Structure formats: C-alpha cells, structure tokens
A = this chain, B = another copy of it.
Amino acid sequence: LKIYLDCYPCLLGQAIRAARLSGADETQQYAILRDTLALLQNLPSGANPPVIGNQVHEIVRNLVGTQDPFREIKEASTQQALALYPKLKELVQRSEDPLAMAIRISIAGNIIDFAVNDPSADLWETVERVIQQPYAIDDTEALKAQLKKVDQVLFLADNAGETVFDRVLIETLPRPVTYVVKGGPIVNDATMKDALAAGLHRCAALTTNGAQATGTILSVCSESFRVKFDQAPVVIAKGQANFETLSNAGAKIFCLLQVKCPVIGQDLDVPVGSIIARQSTCTDTILP
C-alpha cells in the first residue's frame, strides 16, 4: 500500500498520541510535532505508511527517550484477552468447523490496535460480531487447502493481546507453527515478552523478526528471519501493517485483519469494519 493524502493527518495524529503516551512535556510535544511535519514534507514518492509510521515513532523515541511507551497498555490488553481465553476456546470446541471459527477469532483479536485509534471497542462484543460477520474478502478455502499440503506455518504476530486470540487459532491449526514477534517495542506490537505473557510458548516456537518496526519490512528484518520467511511454505500475517507491507509479496501469504483505516478500505474497495482473509498477490517480489 502506498501512502495516500489521508495518511498525512493520521500520521500526525499518531505522533501526537505517541508523544503523550511517552510522557513528553509540552516542549517535547511541539518538537515532535515539528519534526513530524518536516518528515511529512519530504516523503519519497511511493512511501509505505508503516515505514513512515516507524520513522514517526523513532522521532518520539529519540526526543523523549522512552523506549516502550505502550508497555502498560500492552500488559493490560494481554490480561483482558487472557480473561476471555476460556470462552474463546469454548467457541472453537462447540463449532461445527473449528478451524473456520478459530480463524475468525484470530481476526476478532485484531480490533486491539493502538496505532490507529484509541479503541473503546469492547473485546467480547467484537468477538460476537466477527464470528457472524460475512467476509468482505474470503480466501479461507485457499488457506485451508494450503494448510493441508504443508508441514509447518510461519505466523506473523501483530499486537499484544491479539496474541491470545492468535493462540486460539494456533492451537487449532493442524501444523506446527513458528510465531514471529517484533525485535523491539514499536507501538503496541507484540514483542517476545508480550508473547510469553500470552502463553504463546505453549503452542508455538517463538522467534523475532529482528526489527523494531510495525508490519514486516523485509529490508529491516534480521537475516535469520528473512531465511525463515523465504523457506516458509505458508505465512499467516496478522493486521493492517502486515497487510500494508505484504499484500503483494506472494501467494503463500494470507493476511487476516479487520479494516480499521479508511485508506485501506478504499484500496480494497471494502467498508471500514470489514473482516478480511486475503491471499497476497505477486506484483512485487519484495516490499517495500
């Protein structure tokens, strides 16, 4: 996904929210604002929103010095999600198609997203909505077919708390899973610590992508992750930032997400609030 006009006010808003969460004082907040305005004025054409978002958060980190401003939010999200874990498991167990239900539950967890908006959304209400809602894009049959053919799955995590919903899916998948978290704290994306707190080590091999960046920007990931990514026979990629960075990075990738951003909605020609299970295309070999 390339940057659109509407990304600019959103990125500016992200800078301000991150500045406040980082405990920036007013002088620092205005310095962050000015640096972000300067960044936005000089974007290369074809810039990718998560790449720019990461630069915004780097500005905040450098000016305030807080390395992990979303730490408390992430811990609270994980605890909230863990409280639902037994009910989520029950939904899968009672379902006629447990894998289909588990995929929907993992997508429901994608409502947890502090980069895009301050979610007042109730987690359980979201689950009840998403398990009934028709897909706006539905490649789940292709995903299920792939899962039957392969011997392992690479699973790219998104946010802390959403991890618990992913765990329910991973425990339902018929193949061993490697669960990939971020290499360092970036907004509320899951790191190794967050994955452990959500109990992912009980159902998957854990690893990091070596990058302190949202989405999966292969050029800033570690060499060892890139090898895993290249060798993976199938990749499940969660959330908007992974979609934005991997939507045309090859047909072995399946993006599971809720559309929370109007620009992504427009790009996919679906309304905000849609649920998506989309097989990536092959326009580019490596993005961005």
Contact = CB atoms under 8 A, between A and B. Distances in A.
Given A38-B41, A41-B38, A41-B41, A33 B5 contact: yes
How many monomers of this chain does the complex have?
A: 2
A8 B11 CA distance: 11
Contacts of A271: none
Contacts of A19: 5
Most buried by B among A9, A13, A19, A30: A9
Interface in A2-57: 5-6, 8-10, 12-13, 16, 19, 29-30, 33-34, 37-38, 40-41
A210 B30 CA distance: 35
Contacts of A37: 8, 37, 40-41
Contacts of A30: 5
Contact of A34 (B6, B10, B13, B41): B41
Nearest to A6: B16
Contacts of A6: 13, 16
Contacts of A9: 9-10, 12-13, 16
A126 B125 CA distance: 28
Interface in A50-75: none
A interface, by DSSP: helix, strand, loop or mixed?
helix
Nearest to A10: B9
Contacts of A10: 9
Contact of A12 (B12, B34, B38): B12
A267 to B, nearest CB: 15
Contacts of A34: 41
Contacts of A12: 8-9, 12
A33 B30 CA distance: 20
A10 B38 CA distance: 17
Contacts of A33: 5, 8
A14 B202 CA distance: 49
Find the residue from A8, A16, A19, A40 having the highest chain B CB count within 10 A: A8
Contacts of A8: 12, 16, 33, 37
Given A9-B16, A37-B41, 9 more contacts: A5-B19, A5-B29, A5-B33, A6-B13, A6-B16, A8-B16, A9-B10, A37-B40, A41-B41
Interface of A: 5-6, 8-10, 12-13, 16, 19, 29-30, 33-34, 37-38, 40-41
